[in-house]
Amino acid sequence: MKNQFSFLSSILLIATMLFGCAEKQNVLTQQESQDGWQLLFDGQSLNGWKNYNAPGVSGWSVDDGCLVASGTGADMNGYIITGKQYDNFELIWDWKIAAEGNSGVMYHVIESEKFKTPYLTGPEYQLLDDVGFPQKVENWQITGADYAMHIADSTVKKLNPVGEWNTSRIIFDNGHVEHWLNGAKIVDFEAWTPEWFALKNSGKWNMAPEYGLSETGHISLQDHGSKAWFRNMKIKELPKKEKQAVSLFNGVDLSGWIAYGTEKWYVEDSLLVCESGPDKEYGYLGTEKYFKDFDLSVDFKQISNGNSGIFFRSTVDGTKVSGWQVEVAPKGNDSGGIYESYGRGWLNQIPDEKENILLPGEWNTMRIKVIGSDVTTWLNGQEMTHLNDSLIGSANGRIALQIHSGGGIKVQWKNLIIQPL
């Protein structure tokens, strides 16, 4: 009897150990830790998360080892984001959703008062009750889709029923993107190609000009009015690949650029020309793509007036620009200095003895190097500005050429060469 009791106790202990290990959630194995994986959710607290554009966390809770959306969110609220930003990564998580539910996971989200919701900047891995959702949905709205962009491959997709756990994965590797669901790859595309921009500009995101452009940003979870549960959220950062220098201007047309306002931007004799139009207002020519860290060299000639500039890490809405400008202006007006288009104004004006470096009516070369919070400018090979600014460091955006208001301006540009860093 004693031996039988001992045997049963041993069996019970082994079973407890086995099932206990199987039930353990929100932990990393030793190998995962060695491989660089990190937990985004510790299973016990909301540490590492915050509301989008607001302090603290509301509408989300921790219940039985799960990060839970309360179901009180809507299109314009109910989002939480990671405190940390990520560039290239592999993200894995388990999730389940309530009947008729709708949720999503976004990445490269920019937190800014300029954007009311994360999805205006961050691509989304859609989560949905595909079977029971009460409204008609398009194929780009169902689970696993790159929302409003790339549909999931239905031939390999396997979605577990509502109330059961699913495992999803996003890989973002230097512009190559994959979505996985329950072990199957269901989406595969390259970001920022001509095909990607054509797709972006032909659908829902045509009215969201900053969507999907950032190469870095927060991870965001969505409460879209239904309960959703998340666990085992873990991320591994991937290395950044070295990029080749590229020309921003092809000498033929304005491919890769977007004009803002009514002023004139055109190509003449293989030169990019900006010229005041009849409205004599501000005008901008911005890159389609974002550039965060870079080394840019630009040649310019001021034909008349020359009040212009080169914006970086900037966004443009109509003719309202938010960002930082390297001044290009008539002699005596701080060419090479740094101006903030909102709030603080001049961050760095050049000393008077450097005003003679600008060559009016001749070709000049402006070089701008931006890494993190550090900005350096050179004009014709001589350093004009060097500053370190935390607001610049936290920003992201386009490069844009400016026409100042007032009329009478004409500037030629060539050799716009950028080295992404």
Average pLDDT over residues 301-315: 96
pTM, 2 dp: 0.90
The pairing of strands 257-260 and 217-223 is: unpaired
Output the CATH code of domain 246-420.
2.60.120.560
C-beta pairs of 391-395 under 8 Å, 24+ apart in sequence: 391/340, 392/313, 392/324, 395/313, 395/323, 395/324
Kindly tell me if the per-residue pLDDT of 10 is higher than 90: no
State mean pLDDT over 1-22.
43
Chain segment 146-191, per-residue pLDDT in tens: 999 999 999 999 999 999 999 999 999 999 999 999 999 999 999 9
Portions of the chain given CATH number 2.60.120.560: 27-237, 246-420
Query: Using alpha carbons only, what angle is made at residue 57 by residues 53 and 62, rounded to the nearest 5 degrees?
Result: 145
The yes-or-no verdict on residue 278 having pLDDT over 60 is yes
Q: Over the chain, what is the mean pLDDT?
A: 94
- Domain 27-237 class, CATH top level: mainly beta
Rounded to an integer, the average pLDDT of 370-380 is 98
The Cα 226–Cα 398 span in angstroms is 36
